[in-house]
Amino acid sequence: MNRDEETIIAEAAGWHAASEDDAFDWDTFVAWLEADPRNAQAYDQVALADAVLQEHTAALSKADGDDASNGVELARRRRFGWAPWAGGAVAAALIAAVAIPRFAEPAPQVFDTGARSRVVALGDGSSVVLAPRSRLEIAGRKQDRLTLAGGGWFDIRHDPARSLAITVGDETIRDVGTRFDVQNTAGDLRVAVAEGAVSIESDAFDAPVRLNAGRALSLDRAAKVAQTAAFDPSAAGRWRQGRLTYQQAPLTLVAADLARYAGVRVDVDDAVADRRFSGTLITSHGDGAARDLSQLMGLALDARNGSYRLRPTGG
């Protein structure tokens, strides 16, 4: 904990101790709270620590050599005289366990991308290539709680003391050290592992699903149907090189990927929504990727107000 945090904690402790006084200066206290958003956070944590101490009066009495019958008086002295209270070994341990860790945890970092991907470096040497039109939130003192909307390539350094958890909608991906790709949309989740292994938890599963290198999972959230399959590990995350490769993928899923990676909106007619696509599309082609898809699938492609619609030919 740096000196600035120590100062804020000390000020919060002083205000908390003074709050029981009938002559408490509320105007100055409110001004202190509003001067820095960390002040209110520190005050809340100090108040919580004090409440914990009140619940452990007997233990504190024994630690200080006081008779248990004097516990109430001891608590009163400590409540109104913060400096002696904070000096006790038990009290110091409690304040460290309750107030300081919560106060010191950094605010989450949020990264949003537009038309281009972005590399996000973590403090332990791990990294995430955040896909275009995606969002990543990183929380926790060890940067071990992540939330992803969109796509991302994860290159996570092995650390036995840390287990990474990535929230993707209602699912959680847990990893210790590996390289894997995640594609998360409102309707589906896809995870492909190139190295190592991950575990995926979901209400749609009876038990967590483990994916080793060379295995991929596809979850249809609406149908609550998940499938796992083998794949070429070198094919994971090819969107980083501007290529989207599919094996029997629903057209609606391919269309969603074109919106993210090629910046092209493609609607799929209900009459062909159950069609599946196998092949590779080049995202750098932009609108050309939509035309390539229509030709490979033998479908008509209508341009409407800056977007496209795939439909049966002759319709």
Write down the pLDDT at residue 305.
85
- For the segment 24-41, the average pLDDT, to the nearest whole number, is 78
Q: Where are the beta strands (DSSP E) in the chain?
A: 109-112, 118-121, 127-130, 135-139, 145-155, 164-168, 171-175, 179-184, 188-195, 197-201, 209-212, 215-220, 225-230, 243-250, 266-268, 276-282, 300-304, 307-311
Answer whether 235's CB lies under 8 Å from 265's CB: no
Spell out the domain ranges in the chain: 3-104, 109-235, 242-311
The C-alpha torsion from 258 through 260 and 263 to 267, rounded to 10°, is 50
- pLDDT, mean of residues 139-147: 91
For residue 194, name the pLDDT band (cuts at 50, 70, 90). Answer: very high
Model confidence at 95: pLDDT above 80: no
Strands 197-201 and 171-175: antiparallel
Question: How confident is residue 179, by pLDDT bands cut at 50, 70 and 90?
Answer: very high
Return the CATH class of domain 242-311. alpha beta
Answer yes or no: is pLDDT of 208 > 60: yes
Placement of tokens 């919060």 in the chain: 12
- Residue partners of 94: CB distance under 8 A and separation at least 6: 49, 52, 53, 56
What does the pLDDT read at residue 55?
63
pLDDT digits (tens, 9 = 90+) for 293-306: 999 999 999 998 88
Residues in the chain: 315
* Per-residue confidence (pLDDT) for residue 244, from 0 to 100: 95
Determine how β-strand 135-139 pairs with β-strand 145-155: antiparallel
Nearest of 2, 19, 11 to residue 36 by alpha carbon: 11
Query: What's the first-to-final CA gap in the chain, in angstroms?
Result: 68
pLDDT at 275: 95
Fold observed for domain 109-235: Jelly Rolls (2.60.120)
* Confidence at 155, pLDDT banded by 50, 70, 90: very high
DSSP 206: S
Phi, psi of 232 (to 5 degrees): -75, 115
30 compared with 52, residue with greater pLDDT: 30
- How does the average pLDDT of the chain come out, rounded? 83
Most confident listed range (22-36, 43-57, 229-243)? 229-243
Contact 285, 296 (CB under 8 A): no
How many Å separate Cα 223 from the centre of its chain?
A: 25
More confident residue, 57 or 37: 37
